[in-house]
Amino acid sequence: MTQKIALLVKVFDKEEYADAFIQTGEMFCKTIGQFKRIEDDAARGDQYEAPSAWYQSDRISLTISLKAPGVEDKPFPIEGLIGPVVMASTEFDRLNAFCMYAVTIPDFKESFETEEERLRVVEKINLMLKAHTALDERVRSLGEHAVLIFKVADFFDKVSNAAKSEGYSSWRGLVDYFDPEAFHGNFGEVESVFRKRDIYSYQNEFRFVFDSGKPEGAKTLHVGSLDGVAFKLRTSEINRKLELKLAET
Q: Is 165 inside any structural domain? A: yes
Q: Is 248 inside any structural domain? A: no
Q: Is 95 inside any structural domain? A: yes
103 in the same domain as 77: no
Cβ density class 142-151: b for 16+ within 10 Å, e for less: bbebbbbbee
Instruction: Tell me what percent of the residues of the chain surpass a pLDDT of 90.
Output: 53
Q: Is 247 inside any structural domain? A: no
58 in the same domain as 158: no
What global pTM score does this model have?
0.84
- Please say if the pLDDT value at position 214 is more than 60: yes
pLDDT tens, residue by residue, 27-63: 999 999 999 888 777 778 888 898 999 988 887 777 7
Q: In what order do the strands lie in the sheet with 185-186?
A: 85-87, 53-55, 185-186
> Hey, which of 79-83, 137-141, 164-168 has the most confident mean pLDDT?
164-168
Contact 27, 126 (CB under 8 A): no
**Dist. CA 69–CA 136, nearest whole Å:** 61
140 in the same domain as 75: no
What residue numbers bound the domain in which 207 lies? 3-51+90-241
127 in the same domain as 181: yes
Q: Is 249 inside any structural domain? A: no
Backbone phi and psi for residue 220, each to the nearest 5 degrees, phi listed first: -115, 125
Q: Mean pLDDT across the stretch 2-30?
A: 94
Which of residues 87, 106, 135 is at a domain's end?
A: 87
136 in the same domain as 45: yes
Q: How many domains does the chain have?
A: 2
Mean pLDDT of the chain: 87
Q: What pLDDT is recorded for position 216?
A: 87
155 in the same domain as 206: yes
Q: What pLDDT is recorded for position 122?
A: 76
Q: Is 37 inside any structural domain? A: yes
123 in the same domain as 107: yes
Q: What CA dihedral angle connects 173, 219, 31 and 193, to 10 degrees?
A: 20
154 in the same domain as 123: yes
Tell me the pLDDT band of 231, cut-offs 50, 70 and 90.
very high
Element (H, E) at 32: helix 32-37
pLDDT tens, residue by residue, 87-128: 888 889 999 999 999 998 877 778 788 888 877 877 877 677
- Please say if the pLDDT value at position 245 is more than 90: no
68 in the same domain as 35: no
Q: What pLDDT is recorded for position 45?
A: 82
**Dist. CA 198–CA 190, nearest whole Å:** 19
65 in the same domain as 31: no
- Please say if the pLDDT value at position 180 is more than 90: yes
184 in the same domain as 161: yes
Tell me the pLDDT band of 132, cut-offs 50, 70 and 90.
confident
163 in the same domain as 105: yes
Q: Is 246 inside any structural domain? A: no
- Please say if the pLDDT value at position 130 is more than 80: no
Query: CA 150, 151, 157 angle in degrees (round to 5)?
Result: 140
pLDDT tens, residue by residue, 133-144: 788 899 988 999
